[in-house]
Chains A and B, each alone.
Chain A
Amino acid sequence: MHIPDGFLNTETLILTDVISFASLYLSVKKVNKNIKPERIPLMGISAAFVFVVQLLSFPVVGGTSVHLLGAVLISILLGPFSGLIIIASSLILQAILFQHGGILTLGANILNMGIIGCFLGFLIYKILRNTPIGVFIACIFSAVLAAIFCAIELGLSGKVPLKLAVVSMGGTHIIIGGIEGIATLFILSIIKKVRPDLLELEKI
């Protein structure tokens, strides 16, 4: 859920912007440290890839569809810090070009969809020792937590009833996260079948 400008109050805006842009700054520092030049086009194309993946709609029961976030996927492929830079760039461009999400709310959107997916998702994946079940749980966890964070931010700004929003948004995102998890597993398995070396790229 991309939060547009005008929905969050000043305190929430400042808090989320500080958290997100500090994390983004740290990631840039981390990635810039001894980066190989050929990694820049790779990250750039991967950012365009994530942008396209977020536009594809996946079917759910009953004719509805969802789109993937790709945060867990890209962090597993390229590493969490590169992942955050890629997801944040994709969100920034969506805000500038298509007005999906606002500019002052970028911090909130990067926190919900980038930091949680890339850092926490990747952490869960690592704790569960890179297993398929780890991928699945990381996807569900990051989707549900992203939805809950979004609900909390809107709730703190007095736009939705906090408890109701947390329960309903979190609940529906168990299914959305599950679909993202299954899709991510399929995606990783076909990459393993066709180009297994791409799963061994340097993870920063």
Chain B
Amino acid sequence: MALRATRRPMWMERPSIPTQGLKTLVLIVIVAAMLFPFVYVIAESFASERDVLGGGLILWPAHPTVQAYQQILAGGIVARALLVSVGITATGTLVSMVLTTTLAYGLTRTREVPGSRFILFAVLGTLLFGAGIIPNYLTIKAFQMLNTYWSLILPGAVSAFNLVIIRQFFMNVPREVIDSARIDGASEWHILVRIMLPLSKAVLAVIALFYAVGIWNEYFNALLYLNDASMWPIQLVLRQYVLEQTPLIVTSGNSFQLPPPQSVQMAVVVLATAPILIVYPFLQRYFNRGVLTGAIKG
């Protein structure tokens, strides 16, 4: 990315005080609207019975407690669903990354590899149309993948959008580097693993994040393909217990010291969001650099 001047150029007039004030106000409102709900939900998840009965706005619970989390993590459907989600997200991201990077590398030399141009168009075509809910369901059924975790992992394993971004990065690796490696006897596998992947670490991290977030947040495929509620990932459990207000089955704990139900619900929300909130700070710096935009502009 080009460096922008951080000092005001001579020709640019200073914005008037009202303009500056308005700009600041707009930014504060936007940032607050996006941050405040998270703060509020997290605060509520730590609220105890006394805080809730006290009424009013809970932004900093006076008597914080981790009871809600204890209750959830002691076992039962939410803890199980969290494990399921972690499992399918890890497996799915791995499968997606292997398939997408190998295919992206295979598509870097469309001039030389017969048939690869056709494959590239076939992949790009998927950006234009989708088959729809019912045909997809029938396909999964025909593959006998209903009620298996593969139905959540495999259908989205190759995203054309992500593939285009990775391929663009591979194509930008100088030809001489690859050719000299090839002269030294490197196989295609070596070129991919020893040259391409290390040079594209930033973009691979971002794409892995995209895949992981996509799988973690998915609920519809699970709703469509999994009949057995005990197999549900966390998002579907969240939908059931928080949005549809089905009471959460109490698993353990002293009956007279239960955390308030609202805190438990919010703790489920927090746990369902936590992995994203934890990973996000490490990866967000890449979004500001040219990682994505380079490919999109191409």
Partners in one complex: no
Taking Cβ atoms with an 8 Å cutoff, the residues of B that contact A are none
